[in-house]
Amino acid sequence: ILPLVSVNQILLLLLVLTVCAILYKKVHQVPLALKNETADLESPEEMEEEIPVVICAAAGRMGAAVAAISSIYSNTEANVLFYIVGLKTTIPHIRKWIENSKLKEIKFKVVEFNPMVLKGKIRQDASRPELLQPLNFVRFYLPLLIQKHEKVIYLDDDVIVQGDIQELYDTKLAPGHAAAFSDDCDLPSTHEMIRSVGMQNTYMGFLDYRKQAIRDLGISPSTCSFNPGVIVANMTEWKRQRITKQLEKWMQRNVEENLYSSTLGGGVATSPMLIVFHGKHSSINPMWHIRHLGWSPDARYSEQFLQEAKLLHWNGRYKPWDYPSVHTDLWENWFIPDPSGKFKLTRPDS
């Protein structure tokens, strides 16, 4: 048996050690909490979310990409990172244009798209060969081009943005949805425009319902279509659902069975997306995609309506850098001339 004095000494030692441990913990916890708080206060830029925006720069229409980028950059304080996608032959031109203009301040990455991924997947269509350009299909391959982002914005090059791109980025996607689009029936103010120039806003205008494969989808031909020129995409869901593989499957089926290439809607990039995303996409605020500005050289929207719009899209044949076209003044506000002089606007007096 230990003497009583020894037991008391041991207990006293344990008590001292316990008190020391408590004091050590308190002394070291406070500065750590203060350090974290200070870091948050001192580096808000590191905490600011990066907004990735994908835009293609195609040969012959690079001025479109430049105007789109210029409009986005000028109308936001957000931390935007532009992914500018081009073919190997066009990349040096767009890089030089940006670096030798006021756009040299933007954050951007140039990404090369390899058209070989499309081999055997595109059916030739003589009616509108421009729609078969490889970069029209970049939107199918977003996860292969953009690696580190959860949420991505894709924009066609023939748009200008008049609102803060942060608003579009904040679009809520429903659970299980890989993308959000603008429905073609969503804005009453565009219905008159649609009727006046004979545009299609239902699936019947894009898919050939005479074909069994289309009828087997069970989609009513009067279902409202959507426009994939503006996309807010969730990359995690896109990869989980293997969206790219699904789109490629319908491209290959179209090569074999001609399911949509020659139908009224044209645009071989829209139809596979209508099939794959049917009933499985969220909606973008209609004012964030005012479209059809390029469908007719005569049909115009009211100036007041266009001023309120957040994003304008010249989808159709009549582009604002060519002639004839409408509302070109709104587009030209954001155009930056090509330092190399290769890209020129087509105007009646040029």
- Domain segments of the chain as ranges: 51-179+227-239+281-333
Encoding tokens for residue 82? 């532009």
**pLDDT of the residue at 185:** 82
Question: DSSP code of 184?
Answer: T
> What pLDDT is recorded for position 326?
96
CA angle, 146 then 238 then 316, to 5°: 75
**Could you give the CA distance from residue 310 to residue 187 in angstroms, rounded to a whole number?**
13
Residue 1: per-residue pLDDT: 47
**∠261-265-267 over CA atoms, to 5°?**
55
CB 129 within 8 A of CB 123: no
Question: How does pLDDT run across 100-155, given as a tens digit for each residue?
Answer: 999 999 999 999 999 999 999 988 765 666 667 899 999 999 999 998 999 999 99
The tokens of 341 are what? Answer: 């002089």
Which residue carries 């004091």 as its tokens?
A: 23
Structure pTM?
0.84
User: Of 141, 145, 64, which Cα lies nearest the Cα of 112?
Assistant: 145
Architecture in CATH for domain 51-179+227-239+281-333? Alpha-Beta Complex (3.90)
Tell me which residue of 220, 227, 248 sits closest to 184, measured CA to CA.
227
Task: Say if residues 54 and 154 touch (Cβ distance below 8 Å).
Answer: yes
Q: Encode the chain (350 residues) as per-residue pLDDT tens digits.
A: 445 456 667 667 777 677 666 655 544 443 333 323 333 333 444 457 999 999 999 999 999 999 999 999 999 999 999 999 999 999 999 999 999 999 999 999 999 999 999 999 988 765 666 667 899 999 999 999 998 999 999 999 999 999 999 999 999 999 999 999 999 886 655 666 655 555 678 898 899 999 999 999 999 999 999 999 999 999 999 999 999 999 999 999 999 999 986 555 556 899 999 999 999 999 999 999 998 899 889 888 999 999 999 999 999 889 999 999 999 999 999 999 999 999 999 999 86
Assign residue 319 a region (left: φ > 0; alpha: ψ between -120 and 50; beta: otherwise). beta
Cβ atoms 275, 259 nearer than 8 A: no
Cα–Cα distance measured from residue 263 to residue 267, given in angstroms and rounded to the nearest whole number = 9
> Residue 287's pLDDT is what?
94
Query: How high is the pLDDT of residue 124?
Result: 75
CA distance 272 to 171: 23
Strand partners, 111: 85
> According to the model, what pLDDT value does residue 21 have?
65
Closest of 143, 138, 185 to residue 157, by C-alpha: 138
Closest CA to 226 of 297, 302, 278: 278
- Mind spelling out the 3-state secondary structure of 71-85? HHHHCCCCEEEEEEE
